[in-house]
Amino acid sequence: MRILFVEDEKKITDALSELCDVYGHECNIIEDGEEGLMHALSDAYDVVVLDIMLPGISGLDIVKKMRQNKKNTAVLILTAKSTIDDRVTGLKSGADDYLTKPFSAKELFARIEALHRRSYSDYQDQVLSLGEISYDTVSTLLTVAGKVQQLPAKESKLLELLLRHPGQVFTREQILDKVWGIDSYITENNIEIHIHNLRKRFANTSIKIRTVRGVGYVLRADTVD
């Protein structure tokens, strides 16, 4: 699981970094609200954990902007603000859960894992289709114009990312984060190789992976070559 923590209290950020290692999750810890918002809008994370009181903009503003931008990533607010009104405000802003400080590490990660399971169930379809192609995300079988192909692991993750968001332009950085992981040392050349392989699989169909010069890639059904 990839978790984004937006938190500016040093003792807590140090503890969160250690806890992510213990629980076996990838995490990125950001201490500024503005930078945290940029990461939260990137589609690179499975769960976002936000403090409310942050330098830059508040955690409440971050989750509001996420929902305004149609980002369905699960959000947990982790804060010292503990009144009922604070909780209600946080949940009404678009957060999925609310936990007050001081917190138990076991409870925090149990809640994060529960949010991930819930969001995966709510937003993930097993079979994705576009034009002449159909892809089963569990079996990793791709059907192109009736012909079935088995996809290798990274190619399957890349295709799933693009198919879940047809028409959305993904930067190379977003693809690297989502497919290979935040801390990977994979180069952009690896992306180009996998894009090339997928394009070959879609040959003679309306499905195209277009290069957006200087930005990244977008998948769409396109009748014009």
Asked if residue 99 and residue 59 are part of one domain, the reply reads yes
What tokens does 65 get? 């902007």
* CA nearest neighbour of 26 among 146, 176, 133: 176
Q: Which position has the higher pLDDT, 82 or 121?
A: 82
Question: How many Cα atoms within 13 Å fall on the side-chain side of residue 89?
Answer: 12
Q: How far apart are the first and last CA of the chain?
A: 37
User: Which helix (H) or strand (E) element contains residue 85?
Assistant: helix 84-92
Q: Are strands 97-100 and 127-130 parallel, antiparallel or unpaired?
A: unpaired
Q: Which of 126-130, 144-148, 221-225 has the lowest mean pLDDT?
A: 221-225
Domain that holds residue 89: 2-123
pLDDT at residue 122 greater than cutoff 60 = no
Q: How far apart are CA 63 and CA 33, in angstroms?
A: 11
One domain, residues 102 and 163? no
Domain count for the chain:
2
Percent of the chain with pLDDT over 70: 94
Q: Do 160 and 67 belong to one domain?
A: no
Regarding whether 13 and 79 lie in a shared domain, the answer is yes
4, pLDDT greater than 60: yes
* Torsion of the alpha carbons at 157, 174, 28 and 49, rounded to the nearest 10: -90
Res 125: pLDDT: 64
Residue pair 155/198 in contact (Cβ under 8 Å)? The answer is: yes
Which backbone phi and psi does 128 adopt, to 5 degrees? -115, 135
Cα–Cα distance for residue pair 85/13, rounded to 1 Å: 26
Query: In 3-state terms, what secondary structure has residue 62?
Result: helix
Question: Among residues 75, 94, 123, which one ends one of the domains?
Answer: 123
The whole-number pLDDT of residue 224 equals: 46
> Left (φ > 0), alpha (ψ -120 to 50) or beta: where does 217 sit?
beta
In a shared domain, residues 22 and 99: yes
Are residue 94 and residue 20 in the same domain, yes or no? yes
Residues 144 and 116 in one domain: no
CATH of the domain at 159: 1.10.10.10
- How many CB atoms are closer than 10 A to CB 95? 27
Domain boundary among 95, 123, 151: 123
pLDDT of residue 156: 92
Tell me the pTM.
0.57
- In whole numbers, what is the pLDDT of the chain averaged over residues? 88
pLDDT tens, 133-185?
999 887 888 999 888 989 998 899 999 999 988 899 999 888 888 888 766 67
In CATH, what number is assigned to the domain containing residue 13?
Answer: 3.40.50.2300
pLDDT band at 186 (very low <50, low <70, confident <90, very high): confident
**Which of the listed residues 123, 145, 176 is the one where a domain comes to its end?**
123
Question: pLDDT tens, 41-97?
Answer: 987 888 999 999 999 999 999 999 999 988 888 999 999 988 889 989 999 999 999
pLDDT exceeds cutoff 50 at 120: yes
Residue 225 is predicted with a pLDDT of: 43
Mark whether 103 and 137 lie in a shared domain: no
Q: Are residues 90 and 139 in the same domain?
A: no
Contacts of 55 (CB under 8 A, 6+ apart): 8, 31, 32, 33
When pLDDT is cut at 50, 70 and 90, the band that residue 23 belongs to is: confident
Q: Do 12 and 87 belong together in one domain?
A: yes
Say what the alpha-carbon torsion angle 2, 128, 202, 175 is, to the nearest 10 degrees. -10
Same-domain pairing of 79 and 185: no
Q: Quick one: 98 and 178 in the same domain?
A: no
